[in-house]
Structure 1
Amino acid sequence: MSAEEPLFRVVRGVPTAEELAALVGAIIVRSRPTTPAPATASAWARSGRPAGLSAGPGAWRSAALPR
């Protein structure tokens, strides 16, 4: 493929600039290789976090009280 050749062409319809931009964005996203899921926190990192905290009514109070 030469540098002057388009990567794709519209064969039907007259898309707007915004529609073409959306199409190019979708093609770029789909052509990228997928990345692996982020690694979970190590046991060492988890050990430094407070355990048993949950969101909800009174959660701010229980977070500050000693266990």
Structure 2
Amino acid sequence: MTIKVVRGNPTPEELAAALAVVRARAAAAASTPPGAARPRDAWADPARLTGRRLPQPGAASWSRTYWPG
């Protein structure tokens, strides 16, 4: 693995800290078996986009399709 500093002039301590993070992430990625399911991130949850429950299908569901607000 090659790391190249493109901009700036990091101190040896800063470079060592950044390299430690990269190596830890690489080791964690290598330790998980391929195809293992990752836990779903809360930001990817579609339920967080709605502040209330979605209308359920039914006889009068056409009247609940518009949410004023």
Greater percentage in helix: 2
Structure showing greater radius of gyration is 1
**What TM-score comes out, normalization by structure 2 length?**
0.39
Q: TM-score, normalised to structure 1's length?
A: 0.40
